[in-house]
Amino acid sequence: MSTVAVEASVIDGSGPLWVVPHEVPAIVPRSSRSTEPRWIGVYRWAALGGDLMAAVIGISIALLTRFGYEVGGAYLVISSLLPLAWVTGVALSKGYDARYYGSGPEELRSLLRAGVGLTAAIAILSYATKSEIARGFVVLAIPVTVLAALVLRYALRKDLHRHRLRGRCMHRVLVVGRTDPAATLCEHLESRPSDGYRVVATCRPRGTGRRSGPLQPDELDEADILAAVDRHAVEVVAVATDPELAGQSLRRLSWALEQRGVELIVSPGIIEVAGPRISVRPVAGLSLLHLERPSVSGGPHLMKAIFDRVVALAIIVALAPLLIGLALAVKLSSRGPVLFHQRRVGRAGAEFTMLKFRSMYADAEQRLGDLYALSDGNGVLFKVRDDPRMTPLGRWIRRFSLDELPQLFNVLRGEMSLVGPRPPLAEEVALYAADDSRRMLVKPGMTGLWQVSGRSDLSWDESVRLDLRYVDNWSMTLDLLILWKTLRAVFYGSGAY
């Protein structure tokens, strides 16, 4: 795809708006474009086909498991209708809404909602018609269908992300707002190509631009914004926080964009806050944005504590042979204790002893002072990529994070969680800024956003930002997602040293 570098220009010499094009693909005139990009239709049909395939897989497994090869005519009819009912349920749950393509959580949640809804619909229909549908068939068919659909949709989403990393399947975006908020919004939109937003131009009031001569009125004009939309053939207008473009002005702009088939998104200026904490509620004729307090205690965290202990105990039992084998290997490979004990700071500043399999020689602590100059850490954390204190076995178990398995016993004792911020040392806590200490509102975790995002390769600021994002947006769904991503991070060993 060819690109053209366009110099900064003004749509209308007498207008109050600067339009700064970015380096973008050659523009296709709006009159010659279809109302919907071709890739959206391809993705929708692929998602629909994947859901039908998932339904066929689930129903086939349920029929063979429940009835073998002797399937009655009634169940053949039911089996032929269930795929249609399934895709209808996904459609009603907004599973084919283009707004969520490639976004992940909302797209996958629509499949879960469809599965629950279809199960409820079958139960109600069976009761109303007094028909006898084998429970084993339903209990097996729908969960398998949902699981297969989740896997296929995940693969489809990953394929879309690969295309977006190459610059394809992107939404063309016009950012509107004053210089600083617009620049921040552009930076965030372009920081993750997988989200599918390419900023092709930014609009800002003429008064915020640097030029010779008197400044023009510092305002944003709807006519100039619409001219920029038509000129750059954009699909999305993103409005940065701006008091001049709100209320009735924003309402009229939304009407005009609706006629052009262009989506309008508005940034409230709130960063690192996930959707579940944000809600829009009508109050006195206004749509007010409500920001809920993060959940750091109460019922949800009691459920998290129970989940942590049950899963930790199950993993210990399942991996008992591996734990025993690693303990023997550590003992036989070098002199010293099997376990490494270290004081760490937990929730609310309470200290505890964290357990790890020893991966270094017994005199590692005494040799630490000689290595500070070689630190590959991030200014606060001490890390050496090729640490000479590490044993050959220690390098291998660190490569796959096996040295951290004894922390499962910390989880059983309630000192740690499976997922949470990184457990800090006391000397690290002494260097915390005021905002950093917010990380200790929850228990530290064996894994977390920091581990699935690069671990030791992260800067200190990035590590803190990820931990604070976790604290502010915790949910059981987020924990399960992090645990899933941890398996991949451990397998590839990214950032582990």
> Does residue 13 surpass a pLDDT of 60?
no
DSSP 167: T
Which is more confidently placed, 449 or 385? 449
> Does residue 186 surpass a pLDDT of 80?
yes
In angstroms, what CA-CA distances link 497 with 334, 348, 386, 396?
19, 28, 8, 10
> Does residue 244 surpass a pLDDT of 80?
no
* Mean pLDDT within 382-393: 73
Which is more confidently placed, 405 or 8? 405
pLDDT band with cut points at 50, 70 and 90 for residue 207:
low
**CB under 8 Å to 214, separation ≥6 — which residues?**
none
Geometric angle at alpha carbon 219, from 217 and 222, rounded to 5°: 125
pLDDT band with cut points at 50, 70 and 90 for residue 179:
confident
Cα-to-chain-centroid distance, residue 93: 20
Burial of 197 from C-beta contacts in 10 A (0-12 / 13-18 / 19+): buried
In angstroms, what CA-CA distances link 366 with 369, 371, 372, 388?
7, 10, 12, 13
Structure confidence at residue 33 (pLDDT): 44
Quote the tokens at residue 68. 């073998």
Rounded CA-CA distance 463/456 in Å is 9
> Does residue 116 surpass a pLDDT of 70?
yes
Structure confidence at residue 30 (pLDDT): 46
Structure confidence at residue 497 (pLDDT): 47
* Mean pLDDT within 486-492: 75
Alpha-helical regions (H) of 68-134: 73-92, 105-129
* Mean pLDDT within 70-95: 85
Structure confidence at residue 151 (pLDDT): 92
How far apart are the two ends of the chain, measured CA to CA in Å? 40
* Mean pLDDT within 192-206: 84
What DSSP string describes 299-332?
Answer: HHHHHHHHHHHHHHHHHHHHTHHHHHHHHHHHHH
* Mean pLDDT within 153-170: 90
Structure confidence at residue 91 (pLDDT): 92
Which of 6-20, 183-197, 338-352 has the largest mean confidence? Answer: 338-352
Q: What are phi and psi of 59, to 5 degrees?
A: -70, -40
